[in-house]
A and B are shown apart, each in its own frame.
Chain A
Amino acid sequence: MAMNTLHDGFSEKGALIERHWQELNARRRLYTWLGLAILAVALSGSLWFANETNAGKFFDRLPYLFDFVGDMVPRDGLEVFRALFDLPSPYDDGSFKYNYPEGRLYLTESFYIPEYFHKMLETLNIALFSTIIGMFFGFLLCFLAAKNLVANRLLRGFVRRFMEILRAFPEVVLAGFFLAILSLGPLPAVIAVSIHTIGALGKLFFEVVENADMKAEEGLRAVGASWIERVWFGIVPQVLPNFMSYFLLRLEINVRASTIIGAVGGGGIGELLRLSIGQNHQAKTLAIVLLLLITIIAVDQFSAWLRRKLVGDHAFRLAQ
């Protein structure tokens, strides 16, 4: 009956098209609902599983959700700055909790760097240094993985798989392994983050190379340039702004990654944050969180600004 009303006003061919469209639409709707149903089932299963295997149950722990706010309320507002700049606290009772000046790193007799700034610098250095290492090797590898530069499928596939493994290899394991060999310190974190960065940047780089304009390369080929000359003079100048943009993007990510690796035992500010949350030092925790927040925002803003300068609005496209 419904079909009849739909057919009103259509010619015979129009009705056919209309019917076909209806069918397609119905099928599409079915698929959408089916997909949503699968998603809902997977989601509720996942939630149940997560709740079952968690140490505390979701609804039991919900009232405590904002307990962590209590972890961050210092005894007075100035405590945060005392903790941040390692100034003596009036609450100092000899315990580690209020002993801020202990972490000072004296450069001269009277001039010191506050502990958290020093550790933040260490984390930033881990991030920057490993991003540079990652870019260096990613740069070397990416040309070998690009379809338009290397005809040999085997070599290309090998380099690509290699980079995929570097990318997917869990950073924790790398950090833990080198921690076992090199003993404590920031170097295991540098190695772990670098190895991951080589894979990640290598992939982004070769995609840029594959999208490069080949005319310059053809010109060089016509005058008999070698492979290295063709790459260096024909491809690199085109892709360098994009490479730098990805480098900066990766730097943002690596600042976060090196904080996390630090918390796992690689030194830097992450470790201090984990310890101070664990030991319930409110002022210290808040000071570190504040410092981290400011640093991350600063790095993000700086990198966004530089990327905009390098590649224009393209800078904000997500790196995929």
Chain B
Amino acid sequence: MTTLNPAQMDEIAARHPAVFHRSFWQRFRVAFIAGGFVLYALYCWWFFAIGHVLGTANWNIAGTYLADWVSYEVRPEVTIASDGAMKLTYPRFSPLGPNAEPDWVEIERGMMTRTTPAADAAGTTAKKPASMGFMGAGATLGGSAAAAEGLATATTREEEVVKRAKITLNASTSVEVVPERVTVQHAGETLVVNMGGTDMTVEGALPDWATQKTPGQKITLAFGFAGWGQIEPDDISIRRRFLGWANFLFDTNSPFHGKSTSEVISLITSGERIDPKQSNLSLAWDNILYNAEWQHLDVWTKLLQTIVMAFVGTLFAMLLAFPLAFLAARNITRNWISNQLTKRLFDFLRSVDMLIWALFFTRAFGPGPLAGMSAIFFTDTGTLGKLYSEALENIDDKQREGVKSVGAAPVAVQRYGVLPQVMPLFASQALYFWESNTRSATIIGAVGAGGIGLKLWEAMRTNSDWENVAYMVLLILIVVFVFDGISNALRSRLMGKPAH
């Protein structure tokens, strides 16, 4: 093995001074730039109060919101009245629909004699106008006495109540409620809470998954993805989480709700008409389109608006930028004033942000795709015009001279001398902008310029429709990827380059 002696090393060093004796800046510039970035990051940490914001952020809620993207909750709630009568209810817009009895909630019912206090009896009568209106009671002679009696004394009656309810969340997690006691099992541990009307006591220590801020008050149970729950002295509410999107096709008001795929198919193909006015197929289709929770038709319309905004905006921008670019290109229009005028116009259109155009056109046309379309059209006329005029200024002059030398008219010179050179580039750039505008059209929609942006924004505002957000995002991603593919394929054909 040969090694270099010091003389040879010096010789090499002398031969390449640029490599071995670099200036101070050259040697340390990476460190300087990196240090600058770090300093700037520290400044931003202070400027945006990042530490404070991250510290006060509600990270637990982030998990729930993320889980909401792909799952839904069913919320059975057990209320215990002061006399120990239990009732199991679901909220009004439960994904299971009204009067559902899922098999993971076991209920034992029994009869119980309940004494209703006087004021309560009056209240219940007033709430039931069908059986006996409170005001109507005074009008009818027979009822008058009964109502007066109800007001004066407490009533006693036999009622069917829930004696025991067992809610199973998964194999290792279940909540069993009897009037005196709540037994929660999760991850091999058992929590027993003795209920005493307005008070409750925990037997033993609380497991890790249960938290209670003050004794005798609300206990929060966290079961991970399976769900969570709350125990209060008179109310036990459980939320069981299911993977998937609830009622994606048919909402709870639809006659097809809760039926299996094969049942729905057989109903559509051979079943009797549910609605005599239309066939089952069109009824099913209507139910899907006007699904109250997912609003398929509205979402699709808004998505189409976004696509249309990007398409029309870019196409018109291309059509206008095309002739203007010829005016702006120095080598084609030899007129300094027209060059400068068009170029400054492009700069102006480009520099006034798409946001500003969008806000103004929303005022002009009202909220909707026309505003977004015009905003894209104005901004992109500027951008495409600039790119086109630069492309025109860089063309090869020989072809133009050739066409000119055979005595062609000026229009023919442009048509045969210039266009063939730039047309693929022009089309390719327009396609690229079409594709990227499909993406950006979402966001200007959120300020009112039409399309799916506003719908997305509204769905996020409520903080409870994250599954709808997920659905829309999925649709947007599909559209973007499809258009990406189309645009890439077309562009690589135009430019003769392999697609990435």
Which A residues have a C-beta under 8 Å from some C-beta of B? 39, 42-43, 46-47, 49-51, 53-56, 58, 61, 64-68, 71, 122, 125, 128-129, 132, 136, 164-165, 167-173, 176-177, 179-183, 185-187, 190, 207, 256-257, 259-261, 263-264, 270, 273-274, 277, 289, 292-293, 296-297, 300, 316, 318, 320
Contact = CB atoms under 8 A, between A and B. Distances in A.
Given A61-B366, A260-B353, A277-B363, A129 B347 contact: no
B65 to A, nearest CB: 6
Q: Which 6 A-B pairs have the closest CB atoms?
A: A54-B368, A55-B366, A56-B366, A176-B460, A68-B360, A50-B369
Given A50-B312, A260-B353, A260-B444, 9 more contacts: A46-B311, A50-B370, A66-B364, A129-B40, A171-B442, A172-B453, A172-B457, A173-B469, A256-B354
18 contacts: A46-B311, A47-B312, A49-B304, A50-B450, A54-B367, A54-B368, A58-B365, A61-B365, A64-B364, A125-B44, A164-B481, A168-B476, A170-B443, A181-B57, A257-B443, A263-B359, A277-B363, A300-B351
Interface in B447-479: 447, 450, 453, 456-457, 460-461, 463, 469, 473, 476-477
B299 interface: no
A176 B359 contact: no
Interface of B: 37, 40-41, 44, 47-50, 53-54, 56-59, 61-62, 65, 301, 304-305, 308-309, 311-312, 315, 347, 351-356, 359-361, 363-371, 373, 387, 390, 428-429, 432, 439, 442-447, 450, 453, 456-457, 460-461, 463, 469, 473, 476-477, 480-481, 484, 500
Contact of A53 (B47, B351, B369): B369
B476 A55 contact: no
A130 to B, nearest CB: 9
Contact of B473 (A65, A170, A207): A170
A42 B314 CA distance: 13
A67 B362 CA distance: 11
Contact of B456 (A56, A170, A180, A292): A170
Contacts of B56: 183
Given A49-B308, A260-B444, A316-B390, A180 B363 contact: no
B446 A172 contact: yes
A297 B382 CA distance: 13
B463 A170 contact: no
A68 to B, nearest CB: 4
Contacts of B500: 207
A72 to B, nearest CB: 9
Contacts of B369: 49-50, 53-54
A256 B309 CA distance: 19
A61 B373 CA distance: 15
Nearest to A196: B439
A7 B311 CA distance: 45
B479 to A, nearest CB: 9
Contacts of A176: 456-457, 460-461, 469
A169 B363 contact: no
Contacts of A274: 359, 447
Contacts of B447: 260, 263-264, 274
Contacts of B476: 168, 170
A168 B435 CA distance: 11
Most central of A46, A264, A292 by chain B CB within 10 Å = A46
A17 B472 CA distance: 55
A207 B499 CA distance: 11
Contacts of B59: 181
B15 to A, nearest CB: 18
A129 B193 CA distance: 52
A260 B444 CA distance: 7
A43 to B, nearest CB: 6
B443 A172 contact: yes
Contacts of A55: 365-368
A132 B41 contact: yes
Nearest to A255: B353
A289 B352 contact: yes
Most central of B353, B469, B481 by chain A CB within 10 Å = B353
B48 A181 contact: no
Contacts of A289: 352, 356
Contacts of A318: 387, 429, 432
Contacts of A125: 44, 47-48
A50 B305 contact: yes
A171 B308 contact: no
Contact of B480 (A132, A168, A292): A168
A74 B86 CA distance: 67
A50 B305 CA distance: 6
B377 to A, nearest CB: 12
B305 A67 contact: no
